[in-house]
Amino acid sequence: MSFELNNISLQGIINNLPGPIWVKDLEMRYIACNERCKNFVGLSSRDDLIGKFDHDLSWNPYAELYREGDKEILKGKSLSFMHPIQLYNGRKLIIITQKSPIKNNNEEIIGITGSIAIASSLPFVKSINHLTQFDAQLTGNDYFQYIVSDDFCQFNLTKREIHCLFHLVRGKTANDIANILFISKRTAEKHVDNIKTKLKCNTKSEIIAKAIENGFVHLVPSDFLISHINN
């Protein structure tokens, strides 16, 4: 199966784009990838990927995580995901995948495209490994896929409150948060009070429980990602 855009094959387009690129159909089956993607995952031919599902490939332990992310894209969202991958040589990496829906001329979603960035800096990898280990203990879930987002809309939190909540859930105090975000302790405490009000919680334990219950533990603020990539 392949898409045709004005008689130009999708394969021809993605071959000229930088970085590893892949395309899936509505069934979440791979239908195209560029040479960089093939080389990155360690395949000898693009044909080894085309027609396959994530469950069929070397990263199958994470297939359900990827599938859950794909479902969000098929709702019309464009999102960045930070998640693990296992390559064909057995190497495990953390990658950031920007996923977007593909639409036809009638604005109907007909597939998904993804572009991959590799998290290669040692400080970044250490930070993410620490984060996933902490969250595994927090939730009892060993496999994580994070959405890079500053939106926790069901509680109408501001961007700064989301950043505070991210660190609060990971055991940081108001003083810790102030130092991390370069704000005063008083300001950090004010943000924490606002979080308690909006989440209708009285204690830090209640905040953490509600954050886990509502999926916040799977969100990573964009500033956290940017600061670690730049270090």
Reading the block at residue 68, the tokens are 């859950």
What H or E segment, with its residue span, contains residue 139? helix 122-139
Say if residue 223 is in the same domain as residue 134: yes
Q: What is the pLDDT of residue 228?
A: 54
Say if residue 139 is in the same domain as residue 74: no
Say if residue 112 is in the same domain as residue 20: yes
Query: What is the number of structural domains in the chain?
Result: 2
The yes-or-no verdict on residue 85 having pLDDT over 80 is yes
Say if residue 170 is in the same domain as residue 71: no
Q: What is the CATH number of the domain that holds 26?
A: 3.30.450.20
List pLDDT tens digits, range 13-71. Answer: 788 888 999 999 999 999 999 999 999 999 999 999 999 999 999 999 999 999 999 99
pTM: 0.83
Confidence of residue 123 (pLDDT cuts 50, 70, 90): confident
List pLDDT tens digits, range 173-214. Answer: 999 999 999 999 999 999 999 999 999 999 989 999 998 888
Say if residue 114 is in the same domain as residue 201: no
Query: Which residues on adjacent β-strands are paired with residue 21?
Result: 115
Q: Domain span at residue 202? A: 123-230
Say if residue 100 is in the same domain as residue 175: no
Confidence of residue 96 (pLDDT cuts 50, 70, 90): very high
Q: Which of 101, 119, 137 is the last residue of a domain?
A: 119
- What whole-number distance in Å separates Cα of residue 231 and Cα of residue 227? 6
Q: What is the pLDDT of residue 152?
A: 66
Say if residue 205 is in the same domain as residue 139: yes
Q: Which of 81, 104, 119 is the last residue of a domain?
A: 119
Q: Mean per-residue pLDDT for 61-86?
A: 93
Say if residue 157 is in the same domain as residue 51: no
The yes-or-no verdict on residue 133 having pLDDT over 60 is yes
Say if residue 78 is in the same domain as residue 155: no
Say if residue 85 is in the same domain as residue 190: no
Residue 179 or residue 125, greater confidence: 179
Q: Which of 119, 150, 177 is the last residue of a domain?
A: 119
- What whole-number distance in Å separates Cα of residue 29 and Cα of residue 50? 8
Say if residue 67 is in the same domain as residue 87: yes
Whole-number Cα distances in Å, 90 to 22, 58, 86, 150: 20, 8, 6, 33
- What whole-number distance in Å separates Cα of residue 226 and Cα of residue 224? 6
Q: What is the CATH number of the domain that holds 199?
A: 1.10.10.10
Say if residue 17 is in the same domain as residue 104: yes
Confidence of residue 217 (pLDDT cuts 50, 70, 90): confident
Q: What is the pLDDT of residue 2?
A: 46
- What whole-number distance in Å separates Cα of residue 159 and Cα of residue 56? 39
